[in-house]
Amino acid sequence: MMRVTLADVAAAAGVSTATVSHVLRSAERNDGTIRVSSSTRETVHRVAGELGYVPSAAGRGLALGAVERIAIMVPNLVQPYFARMAEALILALEERGLSTTLRLARDAEAERDALLGVTTRDVAGLIVCPHFLSEELLDGASPALPTVQVGGLPTPGIDAVVMGEREGFLTATRHLLDLGRRRIAYVADPWLPSHEGPRYRGYLEAHTERGLEVDPALAIQGTDWDRRETGLEAMVGLLRSGAPFDAVMCINDAAAVGAMRAASLAGLRIPQDVAFTGFDNTEEAAYTTPPLTSVDPGVPEMAQRAVAMLIARLEGEDGPARRESAPLELIVRSSTGG
């Protein structure tokens, strides 16, 4: 027999799920501050009793204010995107009255152990910004506690707020092509040379739209896309190859900072000789020389959606894994002539 959910109670009572959640939480906390009519409160309680609704342990703790912490897991804080996302998640959780603990998953084992509850027994839920998460990594196991994934390729069975990686690179590549750039390098993606990454697909799709072929010599692989050194090293390799190029699309802002440094040291003018784009629209993008054109993936909105999804699970919502995304925007700056 399936467990009765908040959505079941809401449907039977003829009110929203949010109303049911607020009424039941208000009752358990006995604070009397809920702004619904007494008849609505009575209906919700009666229907919940008739259906046999029982809050989950995590949801009951949330209602009583007893859930102390939500774990936020990121691979590192060297990459500005992860630091920005962690801050956005902490603030979004604080708005809901929840405290947080920040964890680092430096390898696949650490990430798997967090999802399976080995290292997260002290928290009620988990929001993970993955580097290694996949169906293969979990090997058929399910997360031990309510979990939401933010960014990365969606994992079957796990709620996710996905980032518009393909769409972002499609938009940025179109921007460069509209400016007349035709030899656009792609730096530096760990997914290469398999070409399976969504960012490369967006880059390739924009070229295909214009009837253009991508020169394989301009797609540069990197081992670690979280560090500025990766962009610098990739750019040095591209310059030494002798392959002509008039633009460089960097896998993210961190790589772009290093790549722009290498280009400047080589005497190239930005954007006159070569245009640059990044991804993530981190704070440092506005302070490079010149300022960096970058895709803004909507980090604050992603964080808000992730927290809302997690709280819904904590409050007992069942159902298949959900996928949501935030709107993105290309922020045009001087590195492309904007």
> Would you say 132 and 111 are in contact if contact means Cβ atoms under 8 Å apart?
yes
Identical fold, 6-54 and 165-296: no
Domain spans in the chain, listed from the N-terminal domain onward? 6-54, 66-163+299-328, 165-296
Q: Is 140 exposed, middle or buried (0-12, 13-18, 19+ CB in 10 A)?
A: exposed
* Number of C-beta neighbours around residue 200 at 10 A: 23
Q: Rounded to 5 degrees, what are φ and ψ at 237? A: -65, -40
The count of other CB atoms within 10 Å of the CB of residue 124 is: 22
- Please tell me the total number of residues recorded for the chain in this structure: 338
* Tens-binned pLDDT, residue by residue, of the chain (338 aa): 456 777 788 889 988 766 777 687 665 544 444 467 888 889 999 998 888 876 655 555 555 444 568 999 999 998 899 999 999 999 999 988 889 999 999 899 999 999 999 999 889 899 999 988 888 889 888 898 999 999 988 999 999 999 999 999 999 999 999 999 999 999 988 778 776 789 999 999 999 999 999 999 999 988 777 789 999 999 999 999 999 999 999 999 999 999 999 999 999 999 999 999 999 999 999 999 999 999 999 999 999 999 999 999 888 788 899 999 999 999 999 999 96
Total-model pTM: 0.79
> Per-residue b/e over 276-309, b at no fewer than 16 CB within 10 Å?
bbbbbbbebbeebebbbbbbbbbbebbbbbbbeb
**Tokens matching residue 136:** 């293969």
Beta bridge partners of 161: 150, 324
CATH number of the 165-296 domain: 3.40.50.2300
| Per-residue pLDDT tens over the stretch 59-78 | 555 554 445 689 999 999 98
Q: Contact 238/202 with Cβ under 8 angstroms?
A: no
At 158 the pLDDT is 95
Q: Distance between CA atoms of 227 and 167, rounded to whole angstroms?
A: 23
pLDDT of residue 193: 76
Instruction: Reply yes or no on domain 6-54 having CATH 1.10.260.
Output: yes
Residue 178, C-beta contacts closer than 8 angstroms, at least 6 positions apart: none
pLDDT of residue 34: 44
DSSP bridge partners of 100: 70
pLDDT of residue 221: 87
CATH code given to domain 66-163+299-328: 3.40.50.2300
CA distance 135 to 211: 36
Q: Is 162 helix (H, G, I), strand (E, B) or coil?
A: strand
Phi-psi region of 337 (alpha: psi -120 to 50; beta: other; left: phi over 0): left
pLDDT at res. 2: 58
